A and B are shown apart, each in its own frame.
Chain A
């Protein structure tokens, strides 16, 4: 019973974080929610008895993807789009 509760809550949380990551108005918040989604995926892999994938997902989904996307957000968000940009972006 407890396991079903855990699995059910995990699945609901996965879907909610996925929706929030896609529909969030703020791009930075979307990426942060996506990192949370990656961490929940890690828990899901543990629940599916796949510790190898859980390790890889923890390192990649939560670590590398997060850094990569946050770096890109700070870069893309530094100026308003629509114009050809010449001056440097503040990194």
Chain B
């Protein structure tokens, strides 16, 4: 009874929340825009170094957001790895070997790697870029893990740490270099903007894929006992 009362109270509160949100959306939609962001963007596109507006916003005009985002991802990856139950993240016993999956992935893995590369390359002038490529790369890694292809690089060690931190480090170095060089924080020199964006996008792709893969791989599995837990029960 109390349970039902509680749920209906929460339902009413959520309905009021939706009504308030919808009313404010309706009110905002009625007001004219103070200034047109797309117009501002298209006027400044020539300074960005890339042709695709979304990539230009992500890696040039609002690159501070992207820098903080990859920082958040690295922290999430480190937190995930520290929660891992296994000492080695790539344990042969944790693989689920399935012959059909194995046969399929001999076709899929190279195809997805090519797709990730294409998405990264396409980001300059059409939809695509580091985030999509990183997601596809991470999906490839997940597929490889489920199918039982050994992945040495996911073991804790130099390669994993390098992969996790590479994107953030390179991005931060570029930002600091431009700050030390006299410009604003994260303001690329216009002549090098294209090169810098391509470099940053490539390392971002790698790091995003690595973080997502590490978070997937490090999910604790019950039958992997570790000594401190086993003693406490």
Q: Which residues of A contact B (CB under 8 A)?
A: 51-52, 54-56, 59-60, 63-64, 67-68, 71-72, 75, 84-89, 91
State A59–B118 Cα separation when bound (angstroms). Answer: 14
Which of A56, A84, A87, A89 gathers most chain B CB within 10 Å?
A56
Main secondary structure, interface of A, reads: helix
A69 to chain B, nearest CB (A): 11
Taking a contact as CB atoms closer than 8 A, the residue among A52, A60, A89 that contacts B221 in the complex is A89
Per a CB cutoff under 8 Å, which of A55, A63, A72, A75 touches B222?
A75
Q: Contacts A59-B135, A60-B135, A84-B233 hold; do A52 and B219 have CB atoms under 8 A apart?
A: no
Cβ contacts under 8 Å, A88 to chain B:
222-223
Residues of B within 8 A of A91 (CB): 94, 96, 221, 223
Chain A residues in 8 Å Cβ range of B94: 91
Q: Mark B93-109, 1 if CB is under 8 A from A, else 0.
A: 01010000000000000
CB A63 to nearest CB in B, in angstroms, measures 5
In the complex, which residues of chain B have a beta carbon less than 8 angstroms from the beta carbon of A51?
127
Q: How far is the CA of A75 from the CA of B94 in the complex (A)?
A: 12
Q: Is A52 touching B128 in the complex (CB atoms < 8 A)?
A: yes
Is B73 positioned at the interface, with any CB of A under 8 Å from its CB? no
Among B128, B138, B219, B223, contact of A64 (Cβ-Cβ < 8 Å): B138
- Please report which residues of chain B, range 137-175, place their CB below 8 angstroms from some CB of chain A when the two chains form the complex: 138-139, 142, 146
Q: Which residues of B contact A75 (CB under 8 A)?
A: 219, 221-222
Q: Which residues of A contact B128 (CB under 8 A)?
A: 52, 55
B54 at the interface (CB under 8 A from A): yes
30 A-B residue contacts at CB 8 Å? A51-B127, A52-B54, A52-B127, A55-B119, A55-B127, A55-B128, A55-B132, A56-B131, A59-B132, A59-B135, A59-B136, A59-B139, A64-B135, A64-B138, A64-B139, A64-B142, A64-B212, A64-B216, A67-B146, A68-B216, A68-B219, A71-B216, A75-B221, A75-B222, A84-B233, A87-B223, A89-B221, A89-B222, A91-B94, A91-B221
Given the complex, which residues of A lie within 8 Å of B139, measured CB to CB?
59, 63-64, 67
Shortest CB–CB separation between residue B38 and chain A, in angstroms?
A: 11
Q: Name the distance in Å between B65's Cβ and chain A's nearest Cβ.
A: 15
- The residue of chain A having its C-beta at the shortest distance from the C-beta of B128 within the complex is A55
A-side contacts of B138, CB under 8 Å:
64
Does B135 lie within 8 Å of A63, measured CB to CB?
yes
CB < 8 Å: which of A54, A60, A72, A89 contacts B223? A89
Give every chain B residue within 8 A of A64 (Cβ-Cβ). 135, 138-139, 142, 212, 216
B129 at the interface (CB under 8 A from A): yes
Binary contact readout B13-56 vs A (1 if CB under 8 angstroms, 0 otherwise): 00000000000000000000000000000000000000000100
